[in-house]
Structure 1
Amino acid sequence: MNDSTEHPHHETLLHDALHAHVRESGGDAAGAHLAGLADGALRAARRRQRLTRAGVGVVAAAMVATAWAAVADGAAPRAHVVEPAAGNGTANTRKAAVPVSLLPVTSSEEHACAQGSRGYTVRATATRPAFCVRADRARGMTDVRVAAAKAGKSTVDGTWQVEVTLGPADRTRFASLTGSLAAAPAPRNEFAIVIDGELWGNPYVASSITGGRFEIAGPHVGDLTSATAHDLARRLDPGR
């Protein structure tokens, strides 16, 4: 065992030096205060020595650390107190991800939705007209917080998409929802993917999806770019 645990050497030297200073200065109030501090430091050192011998270990983390500032002769001593950190020192860095709604499609018509119809308009392209998708919120899954989302290219046609993974509870609900849609005629065998009030896709299902995963490719295949796919994945994934 080293001297720092066996003998409070530094505190003893400080104690003796401060008491000598008090005697030389005539015992004024500031000197008496410094001597009191030295006495306290020596008592703390001896107590730490006894705790170490008893196997208590380091207890400084549970105490307030006090650093004493140097003072000129005749000046009142000052102390800077460092309070221990609150909590366990870890911060919750997970952000609030954007929710997704997965809704059974009830109709799909080749025209833009009328204003106030509560449908979702899919814009026209050079090869396809605009169309209006309506969905049933009452039967769907609303405000779902996904477990994970990542952008990537489709292995089938190379277009950008976002692969979404659901949590355990939503995975069971999604399997039930897609199972109920699979036997329905088109377009009621589709589900609408709605994010922030916009339609991001309406894929059809042929059977119950039990794995808890689906892809967002946009209302039209090829709608997503690398930038839009990565941005959507970042917004959906709670870990990013």
Structure 2
Amino acid sequence: MNINILAGGPEEFLPNLHEYSGENDIWVGVDRGVYSLINKNLTPVIGFGDFDSVSKEELQVIEGHVKEMKRYKPEKNETDMELALNWAITQEPVLIRIFGATGGRLDHLLANVHLLVKPVLEENPVNMVLIDNQNILSLKGPGSYKIEQRADKKYISFVPITLDVKGITLEGFKYPLENRHITIGSTLCISNELISDYGTFSFSEGILLVIRSND
């Protein structure tokens, strides 16, 4: 099972969500994202939020379509996205995709990126990606990973999330590296490209944000 979560970010940043709606996919709405899913004929199995970003009429539409609702007061310790993500992780899916989490407010964007850290620290981390119409983001802990060429996501960047990332090795890339140590704030690994059908990246310590992008 894959869980797709739609938040309430600007519509212009969304890819075609129907391309991610298969037999093994279920949808979860976060705040205004619940209403957006209904408008796209993608009914969420559950909705999360304080729903302060929808009108009374829109909330009535939501309540008429979604069987399970988790409603919260605006004054709370977690964002609506964190509450939805915590629920999704407990379902033990193969993959969690997050949409509608970029664009608009920068504090929400940064918070959503940092929410990807939590699963990385688990013994058996859930595979999670944050997707918009131009980027795919994921966080990786120490290890070795294969990465495949994608014509629609030519550029690949590796951004340190922890103070230090050690032992970075890039093979099959236009700009290869071997056992390099980079620190947070470094731009050494920005805007790389694969030179064959696939490449590998590995590192021994730290957490990396992997961003695949197009122009």
Q: Quick check: TM above 0.5?
A: no
| Structure with the higher helix share, 1 or 2 | 1
The TM-score bracket by the shorter chain reads under 0.3
The structure whose Rg is larger is 1
TM-score relative to the length of structure 2 = 0.20
| Structure with the higher strand share, 1 or 2 | 2
